[in-house]
Amino acid sequence: MHPSSAVGEYWRTAGDLLFPPSCVHCDGVVEGGTLRHLCAACERLIVVVQPPHCPVCGHPFAGEMRGMRQCPHCVALQPVFQTGRTCILLQGPGRSLVHALKYHRSRHVLADMATLIRAAAGITGYLRGAVLVPVPLHPRKERERGYNQSRLLAECFAAAAGGATRVAEPLRRIIDTPTQTALDRRTRQANLKNAFALRRGAAINAAERYVLVDDVFTTGSTLNACAAVLRRAGGVNLDVVTFGHG
């Protein structure tokens, strides 16, 4: 694993100056591993996704589920997009990385996320040449957080994929939905209906492939709501990618 992109190097340097490396999961000393913000013991617990996996959400299949069209996580989703991929399972140290980025203003963990993106089988090839569309935050939430973590991840994905891969932001969030984590699928979907819209002046090109980017795949409802907006605007080639699944 070589976190060699300009983005990764920048964050590694800036991050190490501001935050002497201690493990974001166990608070232990970081030395000897590949990652900068997880200790070697926690790094070994990260589950990087390898095939076979669900074609819709990317969750790895256990042996007995091979051949199923969709996994239990997304069988009730009725996806508007075609396929989906994810990089790691959102558990233990992997969850701590996402939480550090999302809730603790720890942008420096992006360097490790970029490393894990490159380690996940086939993700860079999957994204190459696509237009990556981050799931937008409501402007109020983005001001509070200081950034949209999905936009930062989209830049990591684009840098890892290379070529003509690029990030675009044709979507905006017009309703500040409450935290969705504790809600069931039906309530989430009701909350998300009409939560997203096309940005004024944004154009969707039917000849492009759009890949929606979010930090995590939970029920897929958020990504599906965004995909529905792109589809209504003329997008036909729609996929999704997330950093973590769980």
Residue 118 one-letter amino acid: R
Residue 107: CB minimum distance to Zn ion, A: 20
Told to check if 89 binds Zn ion by CB under 5 A, we report no
Query: What binding mask, one character per residue, do residues 14-33 give for Zn ion by CB under 5 A, x or -?
Result: ---------x-xx-x-----
Told to check if 168 binds Zn ion by CB under 5 A, we report no
Q: Which is nearer to Zn ion, 39 or 132 (CB)?
A: 39
Q: Which is nearer to Zn ion, 71 or 192 (CB)?
A: 71
Exactly one of 46, 49, 57, 167 binds Zn ion (CB under 5 A); that residue is: 57
Q: Which is nearer to Zn ion, 54 or 230 (CB)?
A: 54
Cβ contacts of 6 within 8 Å, gap of 6 or more: 159
Which stretch, 54-62, 189-197, 207-215, 230-238, contacts Zn ion (CB under 5 A)?
Answer: 54-62
Exactly one of 35, 46, 49, 74 binds Zn ion (CB under 5 A); that residue is: 74
Which stretch, 69-77, 122-130, 160-168, 171-179, contacts Zn ion (CB under 5 A)?
Answer: 69-77
Q: Which is nearer to Zn ion, 131 or 227 (CB)?
A: 227
Exactly one of 35, 49, 71, 133 binds Zn ion (CB under 5 A); that residue is: 71
| Site for Zn ion, rule CB under 5 A | 23, 25-26, 28, 39, 42, 54, 56-57, 59, 71, 73-74
